[in-house]
Amino acid sequence: MRVLGFESSCDETGVALVDVQPQGTPTLIAQALHSQIDMHQAYGGVVPELASRDHIRRVLPLTRQVLAEAGMALSEIDVIAYTRGPGLAGALLVGAGVAVSMAAALGKPTLGVHHLEGHLLSPFLSADPPEFPFIALLVSGGHTQLMRVDQVGSYEMLGETIDDAAGEAFDKSAKLMGLPYPGGPHLSRLAQDGDERAFDLPRPMLRSGKPDFSFAGLKTAVLTQIKKLGDSPEPQQLADLAASTQASIVEVLVHKSLLALKESGLKRLVVAGGVGANAKLREQLNKACAKRGIRVHYPELHLCTDNGAMIAMAAAMRLQSGQAQLEQGGAFDVKPRWDLSLS
Ligand code: ATP
Ligand code: MG
Ligand code: FE
């Protein structure tokens, strides 16, 4: 069975084709991605209306590219999946509209996928896929959650951020340091030349004893330090601040992941979402988990941020496990706000 998947929840248009058999991990046949980062950079963040319009421009050429790479015709697709939510309403409507109308024309069913389920299952696209059950650390631009995952479709929320997400903490701190949007990767690069002990930044909720997070206070602490540095800070001071900020976020993420692992007794951690690409986070998690006999799985680096492959993959795994509520008939809705544990 072949699943075509569309991702358009924010500022990446992704299309991918996945093959799913009754048994074994589904495999990626082809994928194409267009990031709108360059377009939004001038505004310092995502402009929703521009995002929707650009998805419209990109989605069909990307689909043709995927089919050409796969050497397949649209008629050879069995199910069309799309991101139903959460995300920007207008952006979601583009992917959903294209998926549902294409499926109606072909007489094929559609499947609306939860964007976070896509992130969560993206490590199954790697050469070394995890096994169930596991603890998942989902760290993206809009979410920071720890979950217990027993199987496809069984997502128990253990804790989440009460304010900003980890990706947001990276992006907002980076913005204060004058770095381009999205700041996470830029801050991480700047941090390579910095001393992470140079600034004493808070580790919010580190000792709360629960797997929950708060990052809004960190951003305020970074702002305070920036103000102290004055109008023209030395490059080294900024590198030190970047390293200290990253160290604070990473320490909290590692500590809370270990807490969730310990409380569950599970020995497997799956990291997903854009911040999962962060080298410092990977290094610290690998070190802490190796010491405790815990295996850590990550998505491939290029699949940490939004892409179509993870949406097609989540749909494929839902189909394979008999949990896909396929739809037919041309009607659809999107869910800009949607809790994964209720999906
Ligand atoms: P959500 O999935 O919650 O709706 P999103 O789709 O915008 O949000 P992702 O695409 O998963 O989020 O990830 C984007 C985030 O990941 C941004 O905040 C970005 O700065 C961050 N990010 C990407 N690479 C890195 C990195 N190397 N270090 C730190 N942060 C990073
Ligand atoms: Mg993005
Ligand atoms: Fe995302």
Task: Give per-residue pLDDT as tens, 294-305.
Answer: 999 999 999 999
Q: How far, in Å, CA of 337 to CA of 343, rounded?
A: 11
134 close to ligand 1 (CB < 6 Angstrom): no
Question: What's the mean pLDDT in 208-236?
Answer: 97
Tens digits of per-residue pLDDT, 116-157?
Answer: 999 999 999 999 999 999 999 999 999 999 999 999 999 999
Tens digits of per-residue pLDDT, 170-185?
Answer: 999 999 999 999 999 9
pLDDT at 329: 87
184 close to ligand 1 (CB < 6 Angstrom): yes
Q: How far, in Å, CA of 154 to CA of 144, rounded?
A: 18
Mean pLDDT of all residues belonging to the chain = 97
- Write the single-letter amino acid at 317: M
Ligand 1 atom at minimum distance from 306 CA: 10
Q: What percent of the chain has pLDDT over 90?
A: 98
Q: Beta strands 79-85 and 2-7: pairing type? A: parallel
In CATH terms, are 2-121+304-342 and 133-298 the same topology? yes
Backbone torsions φ then ψ of 66, nearest 5 degrees: -65, -45
pLDDT of residue 240 exceeding 90: yes
Q: What percent of the chain has pLDDT over 70?
A: 100
**CA count, 13 A, side-chain hemisphere, 38:** 3
Q: How far, in Å, CA of 144 to CA of 253, rounded?
A: 9
Strands laid side by side in the 12-19 sheet: 27-35, 12-19, 2-7, 79-85, 110-114
d(CA 293, ligand 1 centre) in Å: 28
277 close to ligand 1 (CB < 6 Angstrom): yes
Q: How far, in Å, CA of 161 to CA of 212, rounded?
A: 6
Q: Annotated binding site for substrate, which residues?
A: 138-142, 171, 184, 278
- The pTM assigned to this predicted structure is 0.97
Band (pLDDT 50/70/90 cuts) for residue 330 is: confident
pLDDT at 124: 98
Band (pLDDT 50/70/90 cuts) for residue 343 is: confident
Question: What CATH class is the domain 2-121+304-342?
Answer: alpha beta
pLDDT of residue 342 exceeding 80: no
Structure tokens at 231: 């109008």
pLDDT at 319: 98
**Where do runs of H (alpha helix) occur along the chain?**
37-41, 48-70, 89-106, 115-121, 166-176, 183-191, 216-229, 235-264, 279-291, 308-320
Q: How far, in Å, CA of 264 to CA of 261, rounded?
A: 5
Backbone torsions φ then ψ of 151, nearest 5 degrees: -165, 175
140 close to ligand 1 (CB < 6 Angstrom): yes
**CA count, 13 A, side-chain hemisphere, 241:** 25
Question: What's the mean pLDDT in 203-213?
Answer: 96
Q: CATH homologous superfamily for 133-298? A: ATPase, nucleotide binding domain (3.30.420.40)
Ligand 1 atom at minimum distance from 168 CA: 18
pLDDT at 118: 98
d(CA 306, ligand 2 centre) in Å: 6
Question: Residue 77: in which H helix or E strand, if any?
Answer: none
Q: DSSP state, 179?
A: P
Domain ranges of the chain: 2-121+304-342, 133-298
pLDDT at 264: 98
Tens digits of per-residue pLDDT, 259-280?
Answer: 999 999 999 999 999 999 999 9
Which residue among 7, 41, 140 is best mutated to probe the pocket of ligand 1, counting the most ligand atoms within 8 A of its Cβ?
Answer: 140
245 close to ligand 1 (CB < 6 Angstrom): no
274 close to ligand 1 (CB < 6 Angstrom): yes
